[in-house]
Structure 1
């Protein structure tokens, strides 16, 4: 018999439990086990007044932001609507059925105020890293580093030529942040090259054509991950140039050593990190094996001898050419030893003109110059070490494992929907990248650490 609802009168009392209506398999149940905000209020206490009307609970704001970045809800206005309607979100935020959801403008006020002043978001991210270490998901032996371009919240049609500088009407918070990082090696001081275009609404965003797509304004998110389970151990926002990304790599390694006591034995990266100075920093200062392809442009395409055709004699500090002659930094003997390293960190090894003039191999060696010259980096020892490591099985293993960081970037853009920033300025990019990395760590914990079912009494 077909049933029919007959009464429309509402009950006077309800017995309803939000806890019972959230499925045990829900992703937020798995994530909630690893969200430890017990020290949040003590951390923020100096930034709140001890008198006046009570503020919105900062733990509620952080839990709501965690939902947004873990689930991929990019709009804070929509996040407030979803938390208001979704029982699982209310359960995660400890709101119950009648808890009030704060207005979306509250996030902006706290982000630009107390959260940034107290350096709270880096603390939230580091909380996830410490939990990953406690759960034995971080081996600490092998790391990988890379950067990915994230589009800035900028309309390229409103850009102005970089050589003209900022227009007079360009003012506000993002311009102040841009001026504050002009001397930062990760932003304005990364390269002396003047950007082709500037965005008045977000001048720190870099105009880049590094992808096959149409040129766009972007920031770079830099990840340092542990290769055991692809846990993000550090993240940093930089301008989108190679030099800034190398600077971020050094900062992240030092920060990881200082805050977590992690000293990796090897680092995997692509050729962008294979410049001589960076390899020397890894080998000589940090004792880290660089599983990195050397950044080398010594190969020639005109059929003449390349630098690899010359043999370096370490004892004599000279190169031996295919014809048996020697190339030296100087062919004169000085009473006082001299340094032949130039300002770019290179030593020029030159052959004598009389040796090259009558050589039968000159057409294949130096047809357009009176004598052959070879540039050798002052850090060539570290480059040679990286070349030797590239022939080992461990290097090929690192190359295979390094794909994990590319998968993290793909997950960041496709699943967490962070393919375009919503916040502007260097600080906004930093906030978004740290929260996204924290969300990826939380999802990793939820996936790899199963929920232990309660043991029923016998």
Structure 2
């Protein structure tokens, strides 16, 4: 057990279910579970692809699931719709590179600066021409050499004497960050904003199969281990698709 913890950098294991992981974060966190992924065809309601993973959330699943569906259908282009849990700049850029149009509401950080009335990141205007930001007072925040794997840092050249500084920062100079794939995130945000009906379509398409299979399975898997759970899930998907196919072609008596 100790070697298993060290190998996978874990702090918790379930005896007899070593592949499972605690899912989610915060108060909404779940006990050790599996992350079930499904891709549903919006026209027919059939499940095209599914996967059982030990990913603790959906952040890294948008691109691999979308790419698998695109290859399975042998399509030149694919449009996918997912909820905010899949919001990921790296995935958005990877989807664009593979000719996949991802429509996902982008998760933005909330304003937790001071009492909530200080300037947010969205109050700073980005200029692609010189790769810099302009603050609400019109001053420049230049790009620095400090680069996080997913973010680039920008710092004000001078905040002294600024009349708005009390609403901006208590530090000497204000800094903001920009995702390395911010452009892809902006395009994804625009797609969702321009077509709000997509999220309603997603709810109608994806939530129904999940709900039906949970009812069929009494809400819990009966097998253990990711291999056994994958087999059980495959059988459940097969049963759902058979029932769905019958309903699609059935005619009223």
TM-score (norm: length of structure 1) = 0.50
Name whichever structure is richer in strand by fraction: 2
129, 137, 141: which one aligns with 1:323:
137
For structure 1, list consecutive stretches of 5 or more residues without a partner in the other structure: 1-165, 169-174, 183-187, 331-339, 454-458
1:449 pairs with 2:249: yes
Shift in Å at residue 202 of structure 1?
A: 1.0
354, 360, 363: which one aligns with 2:163:
360
Distance 1:434 1:211, change over 3 A: farther
2:80 matched to which residue of 1?
267
Shift in Å at residue 424 of structure 1?
A: 0.8
In 1: Cα distance, 2:90 partner to 2:24 partner: 26
Alignment size in residue pairs: 250
1:91-121 Cα offsets, whole Å, 9 max, x none, are xxxxxxxxxxxxxxxxxxxxxxxxxxxxxxx
Distance 1:214 1:278, change over 3 A: closer
In 2: Cα distance, 1:376 partner to 1:214 partner: 28
2:65 matched to which residue of 1?
252
1:416-435 Cα offsets, whole Å, 9 max, x none, are 12511111111011111111
1:52 matched to which residue of 2?
none
- Kept in 2, the 8 Å contact 1:238–1:248? The answer is no
- Kept in 1, the 8 Å contact 2:76–2:99? The answer is no
202, 207, 217: which one aligns with 2:32:
217
- Kept in 1, the 8 Å contact 2:59–2:87? The answer is no
77, 92, 110: which one aligns with 1:279:
92
Shift in Å at residue 219 of structure 1?
A: 1.0
- Kept in 1, the 8 Å contact 2:60–2:86? The answer is no
In 2: Cα distance, 1:406 partner to 1:212 partner: 23
CA RMSD of aligned residues (A): 2.8
Shift in Å at residue 248 of structure 1?
A: 3.9
2:48 matched to which residue of 1?
233
2:183 matched to which residue of 1?
381
1:313 matched to which residue of 2?
127
Shift in Å at residue 390 of structure 1?
A: 2.6
In 2: Cα distance, 1:263 partner to 1:226 partner: 16
- Kept in 2, the 8 Å contact 1:205–1:239? The answer is yes
1:427 matched to which residue of 2?
227
Shift in Å at residue 357 of structure 1?
A: 1.4
1:205 matched to which residue of 2?
20
Distance 1:346 1:298, change over 3 A: farther
1:342 matched to which residue of 2?
147
Distance 1:328 1:205, change over 3 A: same
2:240 matched to which residue of 1?
440
